[in-house]
Amino acid sequence: MDSSEPARGRSIGQRLARHDESALEDAYEAYGATVLAYARRYVGADEAEDVVQRTFLDAWRGARRYDPSQRFTSWLFTIAHRRAVDVLRTRKVPVVDVEALRDLAAEDGRESADRFADAADVRWGLARLPEHERVVVEMAYFDDLTQREIAERLELPIGTVKARASRGMRRLGGILRTTTEEGER
């Protein structure tokens, strides 16, 4: 079993495979926003919500095909990838954006789907950090700020920022590891 995905994803996938309706709600709550961001990247805002709706409908209809030894998020984003390709294929425009297709077609779309699946898991873990650590980690990685820039923006000593970043990353790793290990028991 892939140990890089938190147990929550596998649990949702296993419950979905048993046609547990609450699992579909949990999947949408956990991954809906990230699937929407993924879809917007390829089909635009106008059609992204349709892609999300079709993705979760297909996940529900095909839930029995989910293999619990595989990452649930990869399985879900593969479905989203296929629905995005379907939308691009139905467009009646004579020219399709080559860059969008190139990004979407990278390794059959699995590479970018895996990146979005990983991002969803990290966002879930970040939400469980104490706010003072989460803010520092997010500013460092999502805003691409140095620790000195973070210290200036938050009006904190550089040592405090370094300590929060270190504790936050250690705690985030522990959250993701613990959740993965719980799912393998």
Contact call for residues 51 and 83 (beta carbons, < 8 A) = yes
Name residue, tokens 């999300």.
52
Q: Which of 127, 154, 176 is the last residue of a domain?
A: 127
Residues 95 and 133 in one domain: no
Residues 36 and 101 in one domain: yes
Confidence tier at 71 by pLDDT (50, 70, 90): confident
Residues 183 and 120 in one domain: no
Of 44-48, 123-127, 156-160, least confident by mean pLDDT is: 123-127
Q: Cα(first)–Cα(last) distance of the chain, in Å? A: 11
Q: Which of 127, 142, 163 is the last residue of a domain?
A: 127
Distance CA 121, CA 118 (A): 5
Domain count, the chain: 2
Residues 107 and 65 in one domain: yes
Residues 5 and 63 in one domain: yes
Mean pLDDT of 2-9: 56
Residues 137 and 116 in one domain: no
Q: How many CA atoms lie within 13 A of 162 on its CB side?
A: 4
Residues 102 and 161 in one domain: no
Residues 99 and 64 in one domain: yes
CATH number, domain of 133, equals 1.10.10.10
Confidence tier at 151 by pLDDT (50, 70, 90): very high
Q: Which of 77, 110, 127 is the last residue of a domain?
A: 127
CATH number, domain of 32, equals 1.10.1740.10
Using CA atoms, how far residue 161 sits from 125, 138, 165, in Å, is: 20, 12, 6
Residues 24 and 109 in one domain: yes
Tell whether the model's pLDDT for residue 3 goes beyond 50: no
Per-position DSSP letters for 58-116, written without gaps between them: HHHHTGGG--TTS-HHHHHHHHHHHHHHHHHHH---S---HHHHHHHHGGGGHHHHHHH
Residues 62 and 99 in one domain: yes
Residues 11 and 38 in one domain: yes
Q: Is the pTM of this model over 0.85?
A: no
For residue 181, give its domain range. Answer: 129-185
Residues 142 and 182 in one domain: yes
Encode pLDDT of 78-132 as tens digits. 999 999 988 888 876 555 555 555 555 555 555 566 667 677 777 888 888 999 9
